[in-house]
Amino acid sequence: MEILLTNDDGINSPALVKLAKELNKYGNVTVVAPDRDSSGKGASITLRDVLRFNKIDFGTNIDFYAVEGTPADSVIMARKEIADKPFDLVVSGINYGANMGADVFVSGTVGAAIHGYLGGTLSIALSIASLDAVQTDITKAVKYSGMICKFISDNKISKPEVININFPNIESSKFNGAKNTFIGPRVEDEVLIKETRPRGDYYFLRLDLKEEANYPEESDMEAIQKGYISVSKLDTNMNPGGYDVKSNLSAQITEYINKNI
């Protein structure tokens, strides 16, 4: 199985090498990721600037490439230029910081997965509910990500769709299992910070979690809040009402994790 691994935290994310080594047990992994943190880039692509990439040596037998562009650019560059074979699976992550609710549409992690899907490939976005890349233990998240990859390989699943998975930031022994969830409402608010300086006004944008304590039942946010791994299908058709947001694949992955947790 040919696997493309990317992210939006950048090529130097501590999660990237760990996940690459784990996924390499189940297929041939190629890593193509932005050369810097590209969080919040969504599914944007670069149209009015030059795109370049460099091969990076991380001391493994896995090929790593850093792209001067967005996460979506990385997927496109991997498909169109770097790889000599088509990919069977695109994996984006593991992202530090949950990607849940309608905020997935500004996530570079999910944006990369969307472009994998647009290229005709089954794509999975992976995130953990912690922004602390130093203190957060992602060992179990990496292990379960490998299990998911194995499940897809063993069952020869290839139908293109986008599956969004979030891991809770708790001790693995306290995991309550996995839940097949739907993507809920917005989780974050934009905060615009203004600073007045001698040369003029400067603005900084950040995202803060809403203070909502009770999330919709069976939503991704509720699952994480209660210590479950959230497995959601992203409705790539944006259909209003009546859409089955719990796909067969997201249900199968949920069942598989629960059997092996």
Model pLDDT for residues 7-34, shown as the tens digit of each residue = 999 999 999 999 999 999 999 999 999 9
Residue span of the structural domain in which 83 resides: 2-182+215-260
Residue 208 has pLDDT above 80, yes or no: no
pLDDT digits (tens, 9 = 90+) for 64-88: 999 999 999 999 999 999 999 999 9
Least confident of 127-136, 192-201, 230-239: 230-239
53 inside domain: yes
What is the rounded CA–CA span in Å between residue 70 and residue 92?
13
86 inside domain: yes
Instruction: Say which CATH number the domain at 228 has.
Output: 3.40.1210.10
70 inside domain: yes
pLDDT digits (tens, 9 = 90+) for 162-182: 999 999 998 877 889 999 999
User: For residue 94, what are the CA distances in angstroms to 51, 101, 191, 203, 236?
Assistant: 24, 17, 25, 29, 21
Highest mean pLDDT among 143-152, 188-197, 243-252: 143-152
Which tokens is 123 given?
A: 């794509």
Task: Name residue 78's amino acid.
Answer: A
192 inside domain: no
198 inside domain: no
Place of tokens 């992203």: 234
Our count of domains for the chain comes to 1
Q: 229-233 and 162-167: which strand pairing?
A: antiparallel
Q: Is the distance from CB of 64 to CB of 31 less than 8 angstroms?
A: yes
Q: What is the pLDDT of residue 212?
A: 62
CA dihedral 21, 58, 110, 204 (to 10 degrees): 140
Q: What is the pLDDT of residue 186?
A: 78
Q: Whole-model pTM above 0.95?
A: no
Q: Is the distance from CB of 82 to CB of 10 less than 8 angstroms?
A: no
What is the rounded CA–CA span in Å between residue 172 and residue 174?
5
Strand order of the β-sheet with 229-233 is 53-56, 63-67, 28-34, 2-6, 89-96, 123-128, 162-167, 229-233, 178-181
User: For residue 261, what are the CA distances in angstroms to 36, 88, 149, 215, 226?
Assistant: 34, 25, 15, 25, 16
